[in-house]
Amino acid sequence: MKNIKAVLFDYDGTLMDTNNIIIESWQHTFRTVKGVEKPEAELYCTFGEILHDTMERFFPDEDVEKCVDIYRSYQVDCYEKLIELFPGMQETVRQLKKRGVKTAIVTSRLLRTTMQGVDKYGLADCFDTIVTCDDTEKHKPDPDPALLAIRRLGIQPEEALMVGDTVYDIVCGNRAGAKTALVSWSAACGEARALCGEEKPDFIIDRAEELLELAGDNCCE
């Protein structure tokens, strides 16, 4: 694909496989606060949302900050140990960087836990910028996080490819004017090929390596 100068990666469920630990953190929170567990399908539907927003919806009569603390405390001892890069991602990110394609992470996660994953796999030098929930007042699906990354990279929106696993990522990228790619290993989108309107991605990729093909016209000569 011509004119793609940068790839913007979502973190959870796209770059990093955090699905199980997110589900278990939610179940731990529900067990602690309500004494019950939540159907996993309902939890997958929250992927991509800001944690505080989901907490307010799930626990409207509880202290949201206390619920957030319960959720995050569960991850303290096991988060870094359990997270893994999705197959092919490490080499794909390194190859994009080697070929002169700019890269960014655009996530609704905190910077601290984002960097735990990045540092675990020695990828800190592979990303030109990282946008987290602390960097913008508005969050996905609003375009602001993607637009901030685009500005930091010094490119035009149409020169960016936003890659994600939820409709929040795709709508964010589409509203920002970027091209968008949905990963087929998404646990959050259901039947991805049925998406339409703002939720419809330009591409659906089955392997991380396909990003090298989409950005292939930008290889350094």
Environment class of 28 (CB within 10 Å of its CB; exposed 0-12, middle 13-18, buried 19+): middle
- Residues 183-191: contacts with CB within 8 Å, 24+ apart? 183/13, 183/14, 183/86, 185/13, 185/86, 186/13, 187/13, 187/19, 187/44, 187/47, 188/13, 188/44, 188/45, 188/47, 188/48, 189/165
Three-state DSSP class for residue 22? helix
Q: Number of H helices and number of E strands within the chain?
A: 10, 8
Give Cβ neighbours of residue 114 (< 8 Å, ≥ 6 apart). 11, 105, 107, 130, 132
Three-state DSSP class for residue 155? coil
Catalytic residues: 10
CA triplet 94, 96, 99: central angle to 5 degrees?
Answer: 110
Q: How far apart are CA 70 and CA 159, in angstroms?
A: 41
